[in-house]
Amino acid sequence: MAGQLSTAFFRWFAALWLGMIATVSGHGMVLDPIARASRWRCNPLALPNYTDNELFCGGFQVQWGTYGGRCGVCGDSYGDPQPRRHELGGMYGQGDIVRQYAQGSVIEARIRLTANHRGYFYFDLCDLPSNGGTEDEACFGRNPLYLVDGSRNWSLPSTATGEYRVSLKLPDAVTCTHCIFRWTYVAGNNWGYCDDGTGKLGCGPQETFKTCSDIRIAAPQDVIPSFAYCTKAV
């Protein structure tokens, strides 16, 4: 037993150490529905955040070396004082609704990667009113979003930078005056140990990004045709 524990610890430590010395940061942002940190790009009234492509949980070493893989719900370092900067009540968390969608519809998320390091995206939805106004992991866990083919994860098709568009199905049963749309990007550029004990690129601890966008989901007849938050294209 002691030998097994020692081997498991060594594998974990080796993967973490290799990740720390080999990590090259990816960078990205959500442009539609535009994330809290990026609203200034399309609306001059929003507070600028010139590092809106760096919501990587404080960085690989902080996320995995200090906090055991934990991250703020919207991409800040887990150890930041709450509310963290990109959470409701924080510096960029004013809760301004940036997009509205029809209940149960298929939507298109638009993500810009300024540095691409493989990996995959996944998306979640927090129905804020139904969670007592609390933005937490439990709320996001109740409404995972799926691709139109029913898959959960969207794997990057190349290592190119630029924009990627992902089609997602909204839940049929959810309407909300204030929902939070969350993007998570798990990079795949670090070598580590997989669940089956083998080692390869993309396994083990990876750099992680999260952003939050404030949206509304209405029954089709209640969608406001003239609604627009952005005053310029991005």
In tens, the pLDDT along 14-32 reads 444 444 434 445 699 999 9
> pTM of whole model > 0.85?
yes
Give the pLDDT of residue 26. 61
What superfamily in CATH does domain 2-222 come from? Answer: chitin-binding protein cbp21 (2.70.50.50)
Greatest pairwise CA separation for the chain in angstroms: 65
Give the pLDDT of residue 141. 98
Give the pLDDT of residue 117. 87
Low-confidence ranges of the chain (pLDDT < 70): 1-26
Cα separation, 174 vs 167, in Å, equals 18
Q: Which residues of 110-139 are buried (b: 16+ CB within 10 A; e: fewer)?
A: ebbbeebbbbbbbbbbbbbeeeeeebeeeb
Q: Which residues of 202-232 are buried (b: 16+ CB within 10 A; e: fewer)?
A: bbbbbbbbbbbbbbbbbeeeeeeeeeebbee
Give the pLDDT of residue 169. 99
Do strands 120-127 and 154-155 pair parallel, antiparallel, or not at all (unpaired)?
A: antiparallel
Q: Which residue has the tokens 């994330």?
A: 35
Is the CB of residue 175 less than 8 Å from the CB of residue 103? yes
